[in-house]
Amino acid sequence: MSDTIIKVENLSKRYRIGLQEKRADTFAQQLWNNLKAPVENFRRIQSLGKFEAEEESVHWALKDVSFEVKQGEVLGIIGKNGAGKSTLLKILSKITEPTSGRIEMHGRVAALLEVGTGFHPELTGRENIYMNGTILGMTKKEIDRKLDEIIDFSGVEKYIDTPVKYYSSGMRVRLGFSVAAHLEPEILIIDEVLAVGDYEFQQKCLGKMEDVSQKEGRTVLFVSHNMAMMKNLCKSGLLLEKGYIEFQGNINETIDNYIREIESEKKFNELITSQEGKEIYIEFVNFSGEFITGGKIDLLFGVFNKLKGKNVEFSVSFSTLDGTPALQYYSGHMGEIFKLSKGKNQIKVRIEKLPLVNGIYYINLWLGSKGMSYDFHRKYKRIEVKAGRIIDNGPICTFNNYPVINPAIWEKNDG
Amino acid sequence: MNLVIIKPSNGWKLVDFKELWRYKDLLYFLTVRGIKARYAQSILGIGWAIIQPLFTTLVFTVVFGGLAKVDSDGMPYILFSYLALWPWSYFSGTLTDSANSLVANAGMITKVYFPRLILPLSSIFSKLLDFGISFIVLLGLLIYFQVLPGWGVVFLPLLLLQLLMCSLGIGMILSAMAVQYRDVKYALTFIVQLLLYGAPVVYSTTAVPEEWQFAYSLNPMVGVIEGIRAGFLDRPMPWEWIWPGTIVAVLLFVFGLFYFRRMERVFADVA
């Protein structure tokens, strides 16, 4: 199935942000301003919904956004705070109108921008299920039918006839999500709401999300800052930046673009400066070689030791962009312990064949001994590994869900 | 599969009644929520629906009937004022509730789509329970004073319809305004009090000067109150007091429907 289910064309949304208040220099001025305040307030509040010319108080939350979503696609929308993600979702879910542009959607839409909308603390869990369900567009009949399932999923059946005000916040969230999980729209719009509840419940929600998207083939638009979750759930991605579409493609490329965008604002220094109070520390690290799959890399540590003699171990490790550990080179694993002399020392390590597939990674550096950490640089440097060959004359390896790859011997048994 | 098209809207449009009907269950649960939440964790609970109008009537009876000796057309003052306070307290209550309904539920408006009209509508409906209960008190008073209602009570449903249209009409206008201008909330408390003296609640219409009678009757509540009094006290229906108010109530209701719809699109942005 590849029919277009959502078609967004040149969508723009303009907001008016509050103008800065005028400041008075004298008491009389202040008094005069206060007297004039009602008139000023009236003009300002009235103009909240009106726009004439371009002014400084006008803010474009979305500008000329166009994209299409196919039937059954799970689209992850990412971007920094204020990039326009929530505005886009609000327009898609009809909460607010666009300033210009047009959207065509085929099918029933349910939007989940918040868990438990409409919950009233004085009502019981059961009553709130009906409240929340009907707000989300379900009918009483539909809820009647699914009530047991909803209560069961929430895991609060013991307290279902207790007013919600006595619930813990976690219970409230679980109940809210359970209602939402039992919606049956053709298009589901979800804002960062899965990051709630305890770990177990989160896993349950994720499972439900996978069911919804993969087994039931529904179209899902999903906003989250949890990149691991995005990679898991989404196939394609949309990167928003200041109201514009910055990138559109598969989810991995989109996330890489997003991280690149964030990281480009940070500065990386080769010389490590945070050495205060440390007895043994890494002064510098020199890299030589190329970050490419199967590539050879030499690292030279400059280490300074303030103590007399000390036995230490080193670790160079790589983690993926969301911080997941991927690969480690630890001298201890090789049985190597280095005796440092007082003052400057140099330690070399060579990585013969880098087993990472193409993508962006962080290098972490560690120096210590027997569980004792002398110096640790998490996310010391961000690197990009290019696609290469893991065996000589083999094919170029590219990312296929797993960051670390290794050669193995593959054979077909005859007979 | 149904096609949804989202684009900027403009101009005056009527409320989408088909969509409203689809959300009738939401209206029901919001109404129930309104009732339950109002009397939750109170000892007397729904009893307050009786106490409030009854005590106001007693105060009016002492102050206006006893001390100020306001003319009550020759009937017991307590009955005279309760017959007016019954629709009046419904009117003032729904006005305050529905005007605040959108602001009070701003969290819902900015997080999920549903026909916004449901909110003021549910305030109007949830007050109907109080209205019904205070009607029982009215019956008690009628029995106590041994008053037999006249044939005019057959017009009661029409008068109540006028009351509903008037409440809902003003409620829609005020709630839509209150989203943008929070002044409505503060102004309303004393405007409702002022309005009380613009309707024949504590005094009789005979106190209104001849030349002002038409202007006075434009207030829809005048006709509602006078009609109810005439019906229950077996007097000729005062049509000259009723029809101008009916026209105003219909106009308010229709204008409210259009105005609400027009303002609806900015609710989520300014709430």
All structural domains of chain A, each given as residue ranges with its CATH number in brackets, are 4-19+57-263 (3.40.50.300), 280-385 (2.70.50.60)
Phi-psi domain of A17 (left: phi exceeds 0; alpha: psi -120 through 50; beta: other): beta
| pLDDT reading at A14 higher than 70 | yes
CA pair distance A341, A228, nearest whole angstrom: 43
Rounded CA gap, A8 and A6, in Å?
A: 6
Q: 3-state DSSP call for residue A369?
A: strand
φ, ψ dihedrals at A109, nearest 5°: -110, 135
Query: pLDDT class for A162, splitting at 50, 70, 90?
Result: very high
User: Could you tell me which residues are beta bridge partners of residue A338?
Assistant: A312
Mean per-residue pLDDT, B113-138:
91
Q: Please name the residues in contact with A233: beta carbons below 8 A apart, sequence gap of 6 or more.
A: A74, A76, A206, A209, A210, A213, A220, A222
CB A223 within 8 A of CB A90: no
- Tell me the average pLDDT across B168-190: 89
Radius of gyration of chain B (CA): 20
Q: Is A157 helix (H, G, I), strand (E, B) or coil?
A: helix
The alpha-carbon gap from B137 to the nearest alpha carbon of chain A, in Å, equals: 28
pTM above 0.80, yes or no: no
Flag whether pLDDT at A185 surpasses 60: yes
pLDDT at A50: 62
Residue A267 in this model has a pLDDT that exceeds 50: no
Which of B1, B28, B112 comes nearest A135 by C-beta?
B112
- Region of poorest pLDDT, from A15-24, A152-161, B99-108: A15-24
Answer whether residue A51 shows pLDDT above 70.
no
**Tell me, what's the pLDDT at B175?**
93
Q: Is the pLDDT at B222 greater than 60, yes or no?
A: yes
Find chain A residues with C-beta within 8 A of B33's C-beta: 120, 123, 127, 131
pLDDT at residue B204 in the model: 84
Q: Do A120 and B37 touch (CB under 8 A)?
A: yes
Start-to-end CA span in chain A (Å): 41
Percent of chain A with pLDDT over 70: 89
Detail the DSSP E strand segments found in chain B.
Answer: 3-6
Q: Is the pLDDT of residue A79 over 60?
A: yes
Q: Which is nearest to B202 in space by CA: B186, B221, B215, B189? A: B221
- Which single residue is written with the structure tokens 């429907």? B257
Mean pLDDT confidence for A154-174: 89
Beta strands in A130-203 (DSSP E): 187-190
How would residue B252 be classed by pLDDT, with cut points 50, 70 and 90?
Answer: very high
Going A47 to A48 to A50 to A56, the CA torsion angle's sign is: positive
Q: Determine whether the interchain pair B36/A48 forms a contact, defined as Cβ–Cβ distance below 8 Å.
A: no
Q: Is the pLDDT confidence value at A88 over 80?
A: yes
Give chain B's contact residues with A (Cβ, < 8 Å).
1-9, 23, 25-26, 28-30, 32-33, 36-37, 40-41, 105, 107-114, 180-181, 265-266, 268-270
Q: What tokens does B9 get?
A: 């809207």
In this predicted structure, what is the pLDDT of residue A2? 55
**Amino acid identity at A357:** V
Please give the DSSP secondary-structure letter assigned to residue A396: B
